[in-house]
Amino acid sequence: MGALLLFCAVLAFLELDTTYLGQVLLSRPLVVGSALGFLTGNFFIGLQLGIFTELIYLDFIPIGGVVPPSGAISAGIAVLMAHIFAMDIYFAFFIGILCGIIFSFVERKIRRYRAKLLPKIERALYEGKTSIGKVMLQSIIFQFLAVFAFALVALTIFGPLFSLINQDIPEKLHIAFKFSYFVVPWVGLSILFISFSTKPKTD
Amino acid sequence: MKRFSIFLRTFLIQGFWNFSQMQNLGALFVMDTTLKRLYKPGSDAYLRALVRNMETFNTNPVMSSYSIGAMIRQEEVLASSKKEDFEEQEREWRIIRATTANTAASIGDRLFWATLKPLSLVFCILVLFASEIQVIHEEIYKGEMLLKVFLAVLAALLVYNIPSIAVRLRGLKDSYQGNEENFYGLINLNWNKAITFLKTLGQIFTVFIIFYGIYIVFGNSSLNPDSIARMSLLVAFIILSIFMKKLNIPNIFLYIIAAIVFGIASFLA
């Protein structure tokens, strides 16, 4: 349990970099996958899951108010599922992707909640009842806790559920998910090529 | 201007991102030291500046320094302006804030999110290939190559972060010293040329990765019905992914649909 909490804490810390703290790409799936892979002793699985997640998420660009699925959550949950619940890498990847998509809805809720709090905070800042440094710190701690809780809940739901049905999963389904996983880097590389083909407009 | 302290604060510009006013409190956090330097906290001028700085703000986080430097400069003009010029200078402050933020966002999204980030991934894959770690293969290398993988990940981070940190620092300086003529430093560099060059580089390396990847995966397999079926499906998926990209549908859905369809098909077969 202690290790699970530690892994979730690492994931929550790295995820902060996506938007709230840094944006130095410590939250990119490649880094999250490798870091958690290293911590769990599944370094190469973490690396591969990280790269595959990053390739499939390439066409999501966080422009303006767009909240794309979280690559950090996807890679992190996938690595932890593979390690803690001995989930096959192709199933872990699928669950990771689902969690990344679900988290984008949670993230939208959090941003709406912040918008709701905004007038109150602005008033407090104007009246000198709080400082902007304190507001930022609280916001970052809140985000950390939200991601931590999400990762913990996702792992405690999907993990035991998988363990329960693992024995009964037919071989055909394994092959189907394995092939879908095999396709990922190729789809990702073709996205990569197309994204590099779009040249900037000349003014 | 305490440039280094402001530079560090720009890393938190999205610290209170919200759907109502986006990066407004983050921008205030970056401007906070300047406001306290220019105005006495609690004074009318300070409170007016506080309200002004809490207005909606949104730009690319890396390029935000191009807006921040120009805003600091105009805030200094405001702090020393005469009463009769104040309204005009405040209006000018708002124009500078909006126009630099929009332009910086447009450049930053194309340069950092759409070009440098994928390019850094390409570099990582190339370093891994050079280390004979075939990450795109189903069966990956499981040897003792920790250091090489670490270097590949580090390469990806450096390819992105060296230019991004340089731009953050230079943006503060250029925009603070800039004026309308050079659009607050934003036209000091030929961004389009840089983006075109990096995208071309990315294209060349990606083509190499694709062909090398095909060689790794299919190079040793003989022409049997199984390998032909796998290759045909792969080609079909590549064509589908290009098609979906053209329709602006994220390819993640292609993967999810594939997993579900193959899953159902496996039961029906």
> Which chain A residue shows the shortest CA-CA distance from B210?
A189
Domain boundaries, chain A: 2-197
Short-list B188, B168, B169, CA closest to B178: B188
Q: What band does B141 get if pLDDT is binned at 50, 70 and 90?
A: low
Residue A203: the pLDDT is 43
Contact A183 B233 (CB under 8 A): yes
Q: Check: CB of residue B175 under 8 Å from CB of residue B184.
A: yes
Contacts of B125 in chain A (CB under 8 A): 51
Q: Which tokens sit at B20?
A: 């109502």
Contact A43 B203 (CB under 8 A): no
Instruction: Give yes or no for residue A199 having a pLDDT over 80.
Output: no
- Range scoring the smallest mean pLDDT among A148-152, A191-195, B214-218: B214-218
Q: C-alpha dihedral over B178, B101, A191, A200, to 10 degrees?
A: -50
Report the gap between the CA of B200 and the closest CA in chain A (Å).
7
pLDDT tens for residues B63-120?
Answer: 999 999 999 999 999 999 998 999 999 999 999 999 999 999 999 999 999 999 999 9
Q: What band does B137 get if pLDDT is binned at 50, 70 and 90?
A: low
H/E stretch holding B158 reads helix B146-177
Rounded to whole angstroms, how far apart are CA atoms A136 and A72?
A: 22
Contact B245 A54 (CB under 8 A): no
**For chain A, what percent of residues have pLDDT higher than 70?**
98
Report the gap between the CA of A10 and the closest CA in chain B (Å).
17
Rounded to whole angstroms, how far apart are CA atoms B164 and B170?
A: 10
Contact B54 A125 (CB under 8 A): yes
Contacts of A184 in chain B (CB under 8 A): 255
**Residue B222 to residues B11, B217, B226, B231, B254: CA-CA distances in angstroms?**
53, 11, 10, 12, 29
| Interface A:B, Cβ pairs < 8 A | 243
Contact A128 B41 (CB under 8 A): yes
Report ipTM for this prediction. Answer: 0.93
Q: What is the pTM of this model?
A: 0.93
Residue B218: the pLDDT is 77
Who among A125, A195, A200 is closest to B118 (CB)?
Answer: A195
> Which chain B residue shows the shortest CA-CA distance from A200?
B192
Who among B115, B161, B255 is closest to A25 (CB)?
Answer: B161
Contact B115 A115 (CB under 8 A): no
What contacts B147, CB < 8 A, 6 or more positions away?
A: none
